Structure 1
């Protein structure tokens, strides 16, 4: 399994790179198709998140690595301008691994990303801001061994980020807020062993965050809600006696919120999809199909409308880690979740991952991840139009 693109699910100025493919704009149709994207790393390049605000403005975040055994992950942005994806180097605050785990667009001239950086014996929060002048690191609180995994942009003066503190221990939830001037830690409920993975907002006073909490040594779903004054844990179901994890959340209305993730089998022997829905009063598990007999793991969810919701991840038919991973896409039509065909460019025994998804009301959907090419790992971007 790849260090960040898949591992995160289961747990110097702006330099532009040319596209490593044809660079021609792919036709946008009703089925998911591959769009050429930049892969600057000689060893690997991966995208784990994407945000879109119009057909001509989307950003993705992730990491890349140069060739060589002593190379480390480097922060990576990619920008869609309506015709091509272009890579932009992020800033790196340590000689160890640096990565961007989520990205959010304020405007065409202001894009934020959060992630983490590896120091000698701990991890550090990483927050970056892109403007036409380049990428800068923004000062942010970093409690002992912490990373940020999810970002929600409400406005340029109101942003939230969630993640994990005490990463080298059992973990605790980390929530930070941007008020237009500085980032500050906000009190987060949840006992030791709680971590948050993703966040989404309906308004400044209606925000959801999801992750997992350890109960008797086993991970169970964790969902928290911000009401404008404080964060509170909202009861959520977990299936069976094995680990349950939530990895992504999408808020459509006050009575319509989706969360996705996965359930591990005994001894982590396999994984099945987990989808939960908020109806305004309670969270309930909703049935969903599987993409493979052995592994099914959802990593992202986004909605075009209440009857047009997309979830992405990975699937595998047999336990041949990390071979045989396929992209997996599910669609909600207002009545049921169904499996949707999606490209997996790596060979049949290869590695294909979708880690993030974004959707526009126009019907356009972006999904990002990575795949194993002949001698390295390259970024993977899929697109469809309604």
Structure 2
């Protein structure tokens, strides 16, 4: 089973989309498509860095003849200045990488993380914003790494951040992928050993309520294709017990609001013919329990919202965007529109007044894919 999260940050092409569901951003009424000031690309991550400012990040696809290159993309919107998004320059502009994830502990402590680059000795791209200036910091990878990247990052404090992802290496004549955890100690990124009880895995997301309460999620790559959750208590990473979710599955996103309010979401497959059902689980401070979610599809991003959680993703069965919100009265559809001939949400930000969804869409059957941002009032 291919990982849904890795597919989200893979090199996309227009041929990867099925041109079946035609719609407009106005189809849902309250949703509005916001112009994105760049060409072909994808908005893979989103977060609010202060009360008024939201950042979105991902990559631009640069085509030059027969060659294509991915370069980082960072966008910002200040609601005091209207609804427009603006490009933000960083030192990594032009690098052969992407921004796969971002995390903020206020407007003066923001981390962006991406992939490794052979031009920089194979180290992984990370960038830090302190409110005034950018700093680049390379994260080393294990010896023998063929490819690697961070897919999640959690900013805990001024000298404390965690990032998770994957590495691809060789075992004999075969390549294999396993998880990567690194910690920023204020001076450098340090590789952290995975728990002994965790076999080969990929880690897609990480979230923290504090330095002694951090969760990471992903999928086992040992052939079982089972979802996995790890927890850090300030001293040790351990593997958490995950409820039975189906034949296969993965957690693409983990969001923690409090030690007794953590959500993980992704996809589960009930049999070999299943194209995916949303997988949602909640931790109440004692144990993880699955929460039945409506419909079919895969969850790519989540946000903790009053009384529950909001999730977005894509439904391969219906070729429609997937979006649901759970509160004290149950699940409610976000009625996400399909923009162009196809669109897929990969990122989400929710504040007291606005829901913002980022991702990718294909305008028509012949045009390259474009970055997508949708907004709606709450």
For residues 143-292 of structure 1, the aligned pairs below 5 Å read: 143=142, 144=145, 145-166=147-168, 169-189=175-195, 190-214=197-221, 217-241=223-247, 243-264=248-269, 266-267=271-272, 270-290=275-295
For residues 12-31 of structure 1, the aligned pairs below 5 Å read: 31=30
1:49-81 deviation digits (Å, cap 9, x = unpaired): 001144521111100112332121111111112
1:24 aligns to what?
A: none
| 1:342 counterpart = 2:341 | no
- Structure number with greater CO (CA < 8 Å, separation at least 6) is 2
Q: CA RMSD in A?
A: 3.0
Q: For residues 167 and 45 of structure 1, do their structure 2 counterparts lie closer, same or farther at Cα, with a shift above 3 Å needed? A: farther
2:357 aligns to what?
A: 367
Q: For residues 342 and 334 of structure 1, do their structure 2 counterparts lie closer, same or farther at Cα, with a shift above 3 Å needed? A: same
1:21 aligns to what?
A: none
1:74 aligns to what?
A: 71
2:26 aligns to what?
A: none
Q: Which runs of 5+ in 1 are unaligned?
A: 12-29, 319-324
C-alpha contact 1:33 1:343 (8 A) present in aligned 2: no
1:22 aligns to what?
A: none
Deviation at 1:329, TM superposition (A): 0.9
Moved more, 247-256 or 129-138: 129-138
C-alpha contact 1:35 1:382 (8 A) present in aligned 2: yes
Q: For residues 181 and 369 of structure 1, do their structure 2 counterparts lie closer, same or farther at Cα, with a shift above 3 Å needed? A: same
For residues 81-92 of structure 1, the aligned pairs below 5 Å read: 81-82=78-79, 83=82, 84-92=84-92
Partners of 2:108 and 2:288 lie apart in 1 by 37
Q: For residues 227 and 5 of structure 1, do their structure 2 counterparts lie closer, same or farther at Cα, with a shift above 3 Å needed? A: closer
Q: Which runs of 5+ in 2 are unaligned?
A: 12-28
Partners of 2:6 and 2:360 lie apart in 1 by 10
Deviation at 1:269, TM superposition (A): 5.2
C-alpha contact 1:175 1:188 (8 A) present in aligned 2: yes
C-alpha contact 2:8 2:346 (8 A) present in aligned 1: no
1:290-337 deviation digits (Å, cap 9, x = unpaired): 1x5xxx1101111233x152111111345xxxxxx3221110113433
SS of 2:63's equivalent in the other structure is: coil
Partners of 1:338 and 1:364 lie apart in 2 by 16
- Find 2:347's aligned residue among 333, 356, 365: 356
C-alpha contact 1:356 1:369 (8 A) present in aligned 2: yes
| 1:56 counterpart = 2:52 | yes
What is the TM-score when the length of structure 1 is the normalising length?
Answer: 0.80
C-alpha contact 2:275 2:316 (8 A) present in aligned 1: no
